[in-house]
Structure 1
Amino acid sequence: MITVYTYAGCDSCRKAVKWLKAEGVAFEEKPIRETPPTVGELRAMLKQLGGSGELRRLFNTAGQDYRALGLKDTLPAMSEAEALGLLAKNGNLVKRPFLLGKSVGLVGFDAGVWAGKIKNEE
């Protein structure tokens, strides 16, 4: 089963959900602020993205929380465990939409990319 973490106020999230429904893809939607991805889910996503060198891609770098915490400067010095722990506690920091399936992990919405990756998941 595919899980998609979304935020109601996010236009990209709404587009992604609309696209998934139009494509007939079965998924579970979770509110990212109230129930952020777990450390285990974040690790699985990181693996899908290519490993710890891609850690920054998990972060919503345009968000207010990212800027308020000064993560642009502090993230490079954080361990993977510290960064994932921070993301698991604050859904506002997680890049969204955040889609995770058995063999697919996607952050951000791009219909073309999603189409190729999700078709392989079904």
Structure 2
Amino acid sequence: MKFYCHPRCSTCRKAKNWLDEQSVSYQEISLLDETPSKESWVTILSDTDRSIKSFFNTSGNVYREQNLKEKLPEMSIEEAAVWLSSNGMVVKRPFAVEGDTYTSGFKIDEYERVWGKGEQKDVN
């Protein structure tokens, strides 16, 4: 699993602790240094039933400064993919992906369902 996070983010630290406690292996990637490619985001956004907004860090400074709240309702998948791939601070974190399975943000129940050792991989 690729685990995209921000080093100073407390939510990311909680998610990492959960993964470690569950012995889930992951590759930690700093969203400040690397984000999924535009092509990857196009695939993710095209294949999900989640809203595009759910992948954006709506409480972040970049989101507010760029007035993305107003732009998102009319934003195409291509435009969203450009934003998400060009600035890691725009991505809701942590963002975890393995194959066609991913999570954005950290909710224990979702992590247990998706990344836990039991039945998993039923979420996009």
Q: Please give the TM-score of this superposition, normalised by the length of structure 1.
A: 0.88
Deviation at 1:78, TM superposition (A): 2.0
Which 4+ residue blocks in structure 1 deviate beyond 3 angstroms? Answer: none
Deviations 1:70-97 (A, max 9, x none): 0111122222101111110000000000
Displacement of 1:46 in angstroms is 2.8
The 2-side partners of 1:18 and 1:86 are apart by 29
The structure that is helix-richer by fraction is: 1
Q: Give yes or no for the alignment of 1:40 onto 2:39.
A: yes
Which position in structure 2 is the counterpart of 1:77? 74
Counterparts in 2 of 1:44 and 1:118: CA distance versus 1, 3 Å: farther
CA root-mean-square deviation? 1.6
- The aligned amino acid for 2:107 is D
Residue 44 of structure 1: how far off its partner (Å): 4.2
Task: Please state whether the residue corresponding to 2:20 is helix, strand or coil.
Answer: helix
**Are 1:104 and 1:118, in contact at CA under 8 Å, matched by a contact in 2?**
no
Percent identity of equivalent pairs? 31
TM-score, length basis structure 2: 0.86
Match of 2:7 in 1: 8
CA contact (8 A) 1:45 1:106 kept: no
